[in-house]
C-alpha cells in the first residue's frame, strides 16, 4: 500500500483518537510523586559521598530501576517521533502533548527515589543520562502505521517492566512509586492499543505488515543506554523483563486483543503477514528457552 494511503488511513481514524483521549482523561487518576518519594531519607552527597554499602535494595533491583529510568529519560525523542510522523491535526497533537506531560513525571519520580534513598551512584547515573540522551533515539519507519504498533508493544512492555521492578525492591516506597508509574503506562497502552484496533477495523490489510515488522524487530528504546546488554541480562535473570515475559505478557495478549488470527477479507499479501504474525510467538518461546539454558536459570 503506498505510504500516502497509509497516512490517509491514520487521518481517517482521527475521531477515534479524540475519543480515546477523552476516555483516557476520564479513566486516569492524577497522582503526585512527591507524596511517595521518601524525602526523609535524603542526605547531601557533597557532605556524605555515595558508597554502594549505603544501598538498601538489591543490585538487581537497582539495575532494573536505573535501566527503566534511563529509558524514560529519552522522552524528548519519543515526543518527536509522534510529532514528526503523525498528521498535524488537533487530535494527534493534543494526545502527544498530554502523553508527554504524563510521561515526564516518571523519570523525575524514579530519579528522586534513587537519589533520596541512595540506591544509585549519582555521578554514574548523571553520566549515563548524558550519554543516553546525546545518542538519542530516532528509528526510521517506512510506514506511519508502524508507530502505533510499536507504541502499543512498548507501553505494555514498560508497564510490565516497571511493575516487576517495583516488586523486587522489597521497599514499600519504591513499590508504590513503580505501581503508579506502571498504571500510567497501562492507561497509555490502552490508548495505543485502541488506535491500532481502529486501524485494523478500518483496513486490516494495510496494517498487518507494520505489526509484523514491529513484532520481529522490537527493541525497547533504551538500546542507547551505556551497558544496555549487560544490564538487560541482569534484568532478564531477575524476572523483571525477558523473552518469556515478552511472549506471555506482551505479544500473546496483543494478538488476542487485536484478534489477529480471526481477521478475514484480507488481501493475499496481508494474509501472508497474518500467517507470519501468528508464527512469531513460537519463535519467541524457542529463543526464550535457548536464552534461559545459556544463562543457566529457570523461569519463575
How does the average pLDDT of the chain come out, rounded?
A: 93
Quote the cell numbers at residue 143.
Answer: 510506514
Q: List pLDDT tens digits, range 216-261.
A: 988 877 778 999 999 999 999 999 999 999 999 999 999 999 999 9
Domain 3-295 part of CATH 1.10.620.20: yes
Distances (CA, A) of 33 to 73, 106, 209: 16, 8, 39
Q: Domain residues of the chain, as ranges?
A: 3-295
Smallest CA-to-CA distance from 87 within 16, 168, 11, 17 is with 11
pTM over 0.85: yes
> Do 6 and 87 contact (CB within 8 A), yes or no?
no
HEC secondary structure over the chain: CCHHHHHHHHHHCHHHHHHHHHHHHHHCCCCCHHHCCCHHHCCCCCCCCCCHHHCCCCHHHHHHHHHHHHHHCCHHHHHHHHHHHCCCCHHHHHHHHHHHHHHHHHHHHHHHHHHHCCCCCHHHHHHHHHHHHHHCCCCCCCCCHHHHHHHHHHHHHHHHHHHHHHHCCCCHHHHHHHHHHHHHHHHHHHHHHHHHHHHHHHCHHHCHHHHHHHHHHCCCHHHHCCCHHHHHHHHHHCCCCCHHHHHHHHHHHHHHHCCHHHCCCCCHHHHHHHHHHHHHHHHHHHHHHHHHHHHCCCCC
- In this model, does residue 24 exceed pLDDT 80? yes
pLDDT band for position 1 (50/70/90)?
A: very low
| Residue range 155-179: mean pLDDT, rounded | 97
Report the pLDDT averaged over residues 61-70.
97
Amino acid at each position: 500500500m503506498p505510504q500516502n494511503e497509509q497516512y490517509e488511513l491514520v487521518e481517517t481514524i482521527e475521531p477515534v483518537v479524540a475519543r480515546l483521549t477523552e476516555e483516557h482523561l476520564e479513566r486516569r487518576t492524577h497522582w503526585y510523586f512527591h507524596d511517595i518519594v521518601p524525602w526523609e531519607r535524603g542526605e547531601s552527597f557533597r557532605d556524605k559521598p555515595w558508597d554502594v554499602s549505603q544501598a538498601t535494595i538489591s543490585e538487581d533491583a537497582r539495575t532494573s530501576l536505573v535501566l527503566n529510568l534511563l529509558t524514560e529519560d529519552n522522552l524528548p525523542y519519543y515526543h518527536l517521533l509522534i510529532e514528526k510522523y503523525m498528521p498535524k491535526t488537533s487530535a494527534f497533537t493534543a494526545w502527544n502533548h498530554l502523553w508527554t506531560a504524563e510521561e515526564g513525571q516518571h523519570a523525575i519520580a524514579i530519579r528522586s527515589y534513587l537519589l533520596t534513598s541512595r540506591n544509585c551512584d549519582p555521578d554514574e547515573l548523571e553520566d549515563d543520562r548524558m550519554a543516553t540522551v546525546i545518542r538519542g533515539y530516532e528509528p526510521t519507519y517506512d510506514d506511519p502505521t508502524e508507530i502505533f504498533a510499536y507504541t502499543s508493544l512498548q507501553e505494555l512492555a514498560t508497564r510490565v517492566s516497571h511493575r516487576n521492578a517495583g516488586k523486587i525492591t522489597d521497599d514499600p516506597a519504591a513499590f508504590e512509586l513503580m505501581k503508579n508509574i506502571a498504571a500510567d503506562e497501562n492507561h497509555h497502552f490502552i490508548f495505543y492499543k485502541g488506535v491500532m484496533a481502529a486501524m485494523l477495523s478500518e483496513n486490516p490489510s494495510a496494517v498487518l505488515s507494520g505489526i509484523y515488522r514491529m513484532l520481529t524487530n522490537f527493541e525497547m528504546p533504551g538500546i542507547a543506554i551505556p551497558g544496555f546488554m549487560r544490564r538487560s541480562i541482569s534484568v532478564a535473570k531477575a524476572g523483571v523483563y525477558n523473552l518469556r515475559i515478552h511472549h506471555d505478557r506482551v505479544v500473546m495478549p496483543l494478538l488476542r486483543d487485536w484478534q489477529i488470527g480471526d481477521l478475514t477479507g484480507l488481501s493475499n499479501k496481508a494474509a501472508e503477514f497474518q500467517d507470519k504474525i501468528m508464527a512469531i510467538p513460537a519463535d519467541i518461546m524457542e529463543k526464550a528457552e535457548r536464552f534461559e539454558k545459556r544463562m543457566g536459570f529457570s523461569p519463575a
